[in-house]
Structure 1
């Protein structure tokens, strides 16, 4: 059902003030917080990594290693965290 403004004759005391909704900050610069998972496509010998962004507006997504900015640092930390503790 579409929105219909209130009828002033039926509701004379009701004030309709427009809502001031702040704009959602959409950062075009997606900064990676951490790498969460790794998946391997066996036939293609290709790896993808599930990355989480710092800005909660952006959802987690699968990226190839070549698509991850500063991938050496991110992947080194990911592999270090997965290593078994002695």
Structure 2
């Protein structure tokens, strides 16, 4: 399984975990006796993992679309100092 597939599954699990956490806090009688703390810990861990994966994706640039990425590259090239450019200026 590739890294992208694992990341997508982690994001989906994190979203589901948030919903499940809200549900078991609203209706704790649905949980098995004595399992509430373990379930909350697990769901909170999954939520933190999903948040970390979102941050990693943002830092790696995987969340930007092609258009946004191209615009940022063009702006970076146009704003670079003259002495760093090779050849004539535009």
TM range (shorter): under 0.3
TM-score by length of 1: 0.26
Which has the higher relative contact order, 1 or 2, with Cα contacts under 8 A spaced 6 or more apart?
2
TM-score by length of 2: 0.26
Which has the greater radius of gyration?
A: 1
Select the structure that is richer in strand. Answer: 1
